Chains A and B, each alone.
Chain A
């Protein structure tokens, strides 16, 4: 290795590490969004659940998740028979890819919390995360990035499945798990009246939600850029295009959501605009390095419209109570992101390859995650009691409110 090459290699490593260290901002953003869109009496519970869930996800993934996913040189507990020493002995580049994978699985594990918000027990959420990070996520990631759908397999179509930033692996796996849990848990008490009309349970803190969106934007640029370098082996210069595509998609999606809600409800809806923004980020991930900026804008336009329409369809027609719109934002926009790669950057063969990836998500991941969570529910009840739900999960599960100074609810106190 010449001195110049070594210098370039160190620069690439440093830049890639910087991108990866931006990813926790996406995790923080998603946690804030989930908390802000929930009720004030479950706010501390939402943030505490987020911390517990990402901790469980990362440690379980470290213990056996990436062994299942099939990282070269890294097996159980980071190294074959060496416990934690395994990570040290394979410092780069496998370890830097593993670091990105830790943050990716943490991000994915937060998605179901949004759909199960205000009624999911922390212990059940942690147990479900063990299944997600230890089985569902790594199995699909292995299929998508290492085996069946990986670039080494052209699927008889002359093209391979493209999911650079994880629209499918990270977002749709999380979104389908969110859908399974929304089905298994059922709607919140009081969400639907006897004639089937949904009641509005408004977000308790719009500032959390919008600030979460901004944090998610920074984190997503890091996630997509690092994934393009590490998983698609693209040169570091591609990061500029990746950041532009990610940004354009989110902005187009947010504006589309604003326009649709302005037309339908006469005023733009803050929570749906926020959901549109995140939907744009989600849709940008799969093709972040292969789309052109103009097609990234188109991807965002469609994602923003799909998110708003899917949220309404799920709530009004399918009676799915998804308080944070997780299914629409992560599953629907994620699937659209995968298809957009085929539509905008590769012709019919590429579209068919993307359809194979989507078929694997719907036909394999959804039954797997539903079945595992259904089975888990036989041993650990997912849902809090009726009283706990009425009281709010902060007091019921944690024993203290997030806002004790001003959150006073009459039914929290015994009559003297």
Chain B
């Protein structure tokens, strides 16, 4: 899950960079937002993967 999350983070950034290079106008805006949405999904996965399963550390 952790690796998947980081891959989504990188993929989201890839979508944004590719959109900036290839697109213009409304499609560009849509793909920037879509790329960011993919990154947020990746961030959620990474965050969930770091929640300790057994919290007892005392």
Docked-complex contact A187 and B36, CB < 8 angstroms:
no
Extra 9 A-B pairs, beta carbons < 8 Å, given A319-B55, A355-B33, A359-B39: A156-B23, A156-B28, A189-B57, A195-B55, A360-B16, A362-B36, A363-B35, A366-B43, A371-B6
Which 8 A-B pairs rank lowest in CB-CB distance, beginning with the nearest?
A363-B13, A194-B56, A192-B55, A190-B58, A196-B55, A359-B16, A183-B50, A362-B39
Docked-complex contact B58 and A363, CB < 8 angstroms:
no
A contact residues around B52 at 8 Å (CB): 186-187, 192, 319
Cα–Cα, bound, A157→B53 (Å) = 44
Cβ of B13 to closest chain A Cβ, rounded Å: 3
Residues of chain A from 264 to 311 with CB closer than 8 A to chain B in the complex: none
Cβ of B55 to closest chain A Cβ, rounded Å: 4
Q: Give A contacts to B, CB under 8 Å.
A: 155-157, 183, 186-187, 189-196, 318-320, 348, 352, 355-356, 358-360, 362-364, 366-367, 370-371
Docked-complex contact A318 and B13, CB < 8 angstroms:
no
Cβ of B33 to closest chain A Cβ, rounded Å: 7
Interface of B is mostly: helix
Q: Name B5's closest neighbour in chain A (CB-CB).
A: A367
Question: Chain B 5-22, CB within 8 Å of chain A: the 1/0 string?
Answer: 010011111101000100
Q: Give B contacts to A, CB under 8 Å.
A: 6, 9-14, 16, 20, 23-24, 28-29, 32-33, 35-36, 39-40, 42-43, 46-47, 50-52, 54-58
Docked-complex contact B9 and A362, CB < 8 angstroms:
yes
Cα–Cα, bound, A314→B29 (Å) = 30
Docked-complex contact A364 and B51, CB < 8 angstroms:
no
B contact residues around A194 at 8 Å (CB): 54-56, 58
Docked-complex contact A318 and B51, CB < 8 angstroms:
yes
Using A360-B13, A362-B13 as known contacts, say yes or no to A155 and B57 having CB atoms under 8 A apart.
Answer: no
B32's partner among A187, A193, A318, A359 (CB-CB below 8 A) is: A359
Docked-complex contact B9 and A366, CB < 8 angstroms:
yes
What are 26 of the A-B contact pairs (CB < 8 Å)? A155-B20, A156-B20, A157-B28, A187-B52, A189-B58, A192-B57, A193-B56, A194-B55, A318-B50, A318-B51, A319-B55, A320-B50, A352-B32, A355-B33, A356-B16, A358-B36, A359-B39, A362-B9, A363-B10, A363-B14, A363-B35, A363-B39, A364-B10, A366-B9, A367-B6, A367-B9
Using A318-B47, A362-B43 as known contacts, say yes or no to A191 and B12 having CB atoms under 8 A apart.
Answer: no
Docked-complex contact A359 and B35, CB < 8 angstroms:
yes
Cα–Cα, bound, A352→B6 (Å) = 23
Cβ of B42 to closest chain A Cβ, rounded Å: 8
Q: Name A187's closest neighbour in chain B (CB-CB).
A: B57
Cβ of A376 to closest chain B Cβ, rounded Å: 17
A contact residues around B33 at 8 Å (CB): 355
Docked-complex contact A355 and B13, CB < 8 angstroms:
no
A156's partner among B11, B24, B46, B55 (CB-CB below 8 A) is: B24
B contact residues around A360 at 8 Å (CB): 13, 16
Cα–Cα, bound, A186→B54 (Å) = 12
Cα–Cα, bound, A192→B55 (Å) = 6
Cα–Cα, bound, A315→B36 (Å) = 25
Cβ of B58 to closest chain A Cβ, rounded Å: 4
Cα–Cα, bound, A366→B13 (Å) = 11
Using A156-B24, A356-B32 as known contacts, say yes or no to A186 and B39 having CB atoms under 8 A apart.
Answer: no
B contact residues around A358 at 8 Å (CB): 36
Cα–Cα, bound, A189→B32 (Å) = 41
A356's partner among B10, B20, B46, B58 (CB-CB below 8 A) is: B20
Cα–Cα, bound, A363→B37 (Å) = 11
Cβ of B34 to closest chain A Cβ, rounded Å: 10
Cα–Cα, bound, A155→B31 (Å) = 13
B contact residues around A189 at 8 Å (CB): 57-58
Q: Name B48's closest neighbour in chain A (CB-CB).
A: A318
B contact residues around A195 at 8 Å (CB): 55
Q: Name A317's closest neighbour in chain B (CB-CB).
A: B51
Docked-complex contact B50 and A359, CB < 8 angstroms:
no
Docked-complex contact B9 and A192, CB < 8 angstroms:
no
Cα–Cα, bound, A190→B54 (Å) = 13
Cβ of B4 to closest chain A Cβ, rounded Å: 12
A contact residues around B6 at 8 Å (CB): 367, 370-371
Docked-complex contact B10 and A193, CB < 8 angstroms:
no
